[in-house]
Amino acid sequence: MHEVERLAAAPGPLRPDAWRDDLLDALHELGASFHAQHVASTELGSLLSRVIEEAPHLIPGVNDLMARQRALDTRISDFRSRLADLSRPIDVEETRSELAEITRDMRELRAWETDLVYEAYSVDLGVGD
């Protein structure tokens, strides 16, 4: 994620083709990593599957989180495809805006997952009782 943010802040207008290529490489790595994390979180024995087992009252929150993860996974892939379309001129500001939204959404999902896990285990451990 840091590489995508670094590239988004790098000068693009004077070298749009090279900038696009660098972003595509970074987005490929980010997308592959996010996709792998999302897939792993749905497997038996994953932290989220344990949250579902240990704290069934959190199932709606976990399901919402997973739905948003799938949507973001698709959004990253779609954005990368649009960026890779060489027939479209690159709009630097639009690209930067989209990248900022994607990385913000990733941070929000990570925080949401942390909150769910914390809530599941704080209830399980009786913290705050």
Residue 88 has what DSSP assignment? S
- The DSSP line for 14-61 is TSHHHHHHHHHHHHHHHHHHHHHHHHHHTSTTSHHHHHHHH-GGGHHH
Handedness of CA 127, 56, 46, 110 (dihedral sign): negative
Torsion region of 35: left, alpha or beta (phi above 0 gives left; psi -120 to 50 gives alpha): alpha
Smallest Cα–Cα separation from 102: which of 71, 127, 65?
71
> Other CB atoms closer than 10 Å to residue 115's CB: what's the count?
13
Residue 51 lies in a domain: yes
pLDDT at 129 over 90: no
Residue 129 lies in a domain: no
DSSP, collapsed to helix, strand or coil, labels residue 119 as helix
Q: What is the pLDDT of residue 125?
A: 47
The 10s digit of each residue's pLDDT in 8-57 is: 666 666 777 888 888 899 999 999 999 998 888 888 888 899 888 888 99
DSSP, collapsed to helix, strand or coil, labels residue 117 as helix
Number of independent structural domains in the chain: 1
Query: Do 34 and 110 touch, CB atoms closer than 8 A?
Result: no
Q: What is the pLDDT of residue 43?
A: 86
The 10s digit of each residue's pLDDT in 65-112 is: 999 999 999 999 999 999 999 898 888 889 889 999 999 999 999 999
User: Which domain does 30 fall in, by range?
Assistant: 2-124
